[in-house]
Chain A
Amino acid sequence: MKEVVRRYGLGATVLMVTLTAFWVLALIVLPYLFLVDASFRPFLPADQVGGPNDHYTLQNYLTLLNPNATKDFLFLSIPIHLYVFFQTVALSCLVTMITLALGYPLAYILAKVVNRRSVATLFLILLIPLWISELLRSFAWYIILAYQGPLNALLGLFGAGPIRWISGYNGVIIGLVYTYFLFMLFPVYGSLSTLDTNQIEAAEDMGARWWQIHRRVIIPHAKPGIASGCVMVFMMCAGALFVPKLLASPSSRWFTEVIMQWFFEGLDWNTGSAYAFVLLLVCTIFVSLVIRIFKVNLADIAR
């Protein structure tokens, strides 16, 4: 701290510290504390807030397990919100795996196969869609995937289809893979591009086949990037709102939609925040699992 004061002077230091503290406290910690508090209090009419009924309770969290509204899944009858929650987590995992399966080969090609001079152009082509808002891109997919939309028209030319793309969660998976693909590609590309090409050649020279080189040399090197990409894509999928809203069939909902409903349709911030914290908890568990599985540091992922 003394060093900072010496370098920037007292005034600038105080300003920097105050602004940072304001940012962290007023914009992050306080809102969260408010929501944590709210999540443990019952949803009451305005005149009863602070009254005798306003006491701490776990009721909001237990709403998730409400047995009155259930959905049959295999042989089980699962509370509907819990079902949506598991669907969201499982499908986010699936989308993460699909983006990895598509992103790793492409990242490898960009980092090690393609001529260095054309990489910039290729990245530009990949980045251009990001200039358009997520909402508009989701709408675009809504049109593309429509039953009488261009994709089915194209398939019709080859005598295939039409396929009902937006049924169940299919449209959501396609949309999420498309929307968050680059968040997998970039970190994986970043770690692959630091790999010394000589190591690949050395492995090949010693008789390794291509899959052995990937398994023993390239993937271990790319692990921090893969972990970081997985964490990012999973979190963004689990927290996605527009894509599932537009591309899911009406009966297939995403957990964020349920949270949003509590907040803005039910005006029940208490239950909404309880649901939101359950999602946050699962995301935290996912990150720590990834750290455990890939044996990387938190710092590697944040990079």
Chain B
Amino acid sequence: MSEGVELSDVSVNFGSFRAVNNVSVSIKSGEFFSFLGPSGCGKTTILRTVSGFIAPSAGVVSIGGQDMAGIGPNRRPTALIFQNLALFPLMSVWENIAFGLEVRGAPKAARRAKAEELLRLVDLPGAADKAIAQLSGGQKQRVAIARALAVEPKVMLLDEPLSALDLKLRQHMRTELRAIQKRTNITFIYITHDQGEALAMSDRIGVMSQGKLQQVDTPKNIYENPANGFVASFVGENNVFKGKLEDVQAGVGTFLAYGGEVLRARVGPGVKAYSEAKLYVRPERVTLSPLGATPRRGANSAAVKITSVAFEGNFISVNASDNRGRRYTVQVPNDASVWVPPLDAEARLEFDPDKATVLQDELAVRDSEQGENTRGRQSFALEFAQ
């Protein structure tokens, strides 16, 4: 059985620092939900608030429709997997896994049986009597998952549990975690700063910055339709043009870049016409062709000079710059039918308007937030004066 988790207007303050700022999100039962953001964005604080180690300064955390206020971590239907796993080094593997049952007073035979069963589930049979120090990083990971599953949580909370593993193992554990989640059908709330992890595993992602939830959506939508400049630049790479949105017709905006180019692109939410903004286009959505070739109709284009070509395996990473000094990154697929420009070549860089998005500048988002804050402070001062 699993339960959904609902955060309504949750804020957490540490002294004068606001770690989590008015976060509202409804996580469905059985969902794999990731909080993605840079370190210090408040995502771990959210996790600790859900698990009960931190009481929210404002707002309500409810699990399965029940308000969790005043309920300690040992009485919540959640299990937390710590970043450093926090396995008990003085207990054997099976004692670790059965700890949650032990403190509930389960008899030894039942505990042992449950531990063996869970070790099979996490694909680590026969490790029951090993010491924690004998395990490898990936095995410890599995033991931590088994230990959390042993208490039959309704919600599993994971705090960057894969960050200590090497790349290969991390990728393997991603699929493994996802499979375990599907098998057990428990709600997973996953914290990560690794966009690859979040995109690959999650049903939905909440992107966070400076304590605020910037966007909640499916991985595909987060990547394709970022809500603002922060989300666009944090998730994946971009070529960025600074400039002004001139006007919008039928969803397609005309963007005047500060270099003087006129570009056409989709317009993201909240961008007002004739206001400062940035145009974002992904490196893999940009194409390069020889200068002599016929330009594509309706595409934005720029004449560039190739400054570096690096073979990355599945694609070729090309850096280019135009005569205004603007730099571009292009990912050329490793495909014989696609032209790969030689170094120092002149080329035409093109991208279609529906592949590019004009978004509110990350800084603008921050400024408007700060504006709100100052306003809040002023009104407070006013109240205080009265």
In the bound complex, residues from chain B placing their C-beta under 8 Å from that of A205 are 51-53, 73-74, 78-80
A217 touching B74, Cβ below 8 Å? no
Give A30 to B103 CA distance when docked, in angstroms: 56
Nearest-neighbour CB distance to chain B for A123, whole angstroms, equals: 25
Q: Which of B30-74 contact A (CB under 8 A)?
A: 51-53, 72-74
Nearest-neighbour CB distance to chain A for B252, whole angstroms, equals: 51
Q: Which of A183-216 contact B (CB under 8 A)?
A: 196, 198-199, 201-209, 212, 216
A206 touching B82, Cβ below 8 Å? no
B86 touching A204, Cβ below 8 Å? no
Q: Residue A220 at the B interface, CB < 8 A?
A: yes
Give A110 to B73 CA distance when docked, in angstroms: 23
Q: Residue B344 at the A interface, CB < 8 A?
A: no
A262-275: CB near B (< 8 Å → 1, else 0) gives 00000000000000
In the bound complex, residues from chain A placing their C-beta under 8 Å from that of B147 are 206
Q: Residue A221 at the B interface, CB < 8 A?
A: yes
In the bound complex, residues from chain B placing their C-beta under 8 Å from that of A208 are 74, 99-100, 103
B79 touching A216, Cβ below 8 Å? no
Nearest-neighbour CB distance to chain A for B17, whole angstroms, equals: 16
A201 touching B103, Cβ below 8 Å? no
In the bound complex, residues from chain B placing their C-beta under 8 Å from that of A207 are 74-75, 100, 103-104, 151
A198 touching B86, Cβ below 8 Å? yes
B103 touching A220, Cβ below 8 Å? no
B53 touching A216, Cβ below 8 Å? no
Nearest-neighbour CB distance to chain B for A294, whole angstroms, equals: 13
29 A-B residue pairs with CB within 8 Å: A199-B86, A199-B88, A201-B53, A201-B73, A201-B80, A202-B82, A202-B86, A202-B87, A203-B103, A204-B74, A205-B51, A205-B52, A205-B74, A205-B79, A206-B74, A206-B103, A206-B148, A206-B150, A207-B74, A207-B100, A207-B104, A207-B151, A209-B74, A216-B88, A216-B91, A216-B99, A216-B103, A217-B88, A220-B90
Q: Could you list which residues of chain A lie within 8 angstroms of chain B, going by C-beta atoms? A: 196, 198-199, 201-209, 212, 216-217, 220-221
Q: Could you list which residues of chain B lie within 8 angstroms of chain A, going by C-beta atoms? A: 51-53, 72-75, 78-80, 82, 84, 86-88, 90-91, 99-100, 102-104, 147-148, 150-151
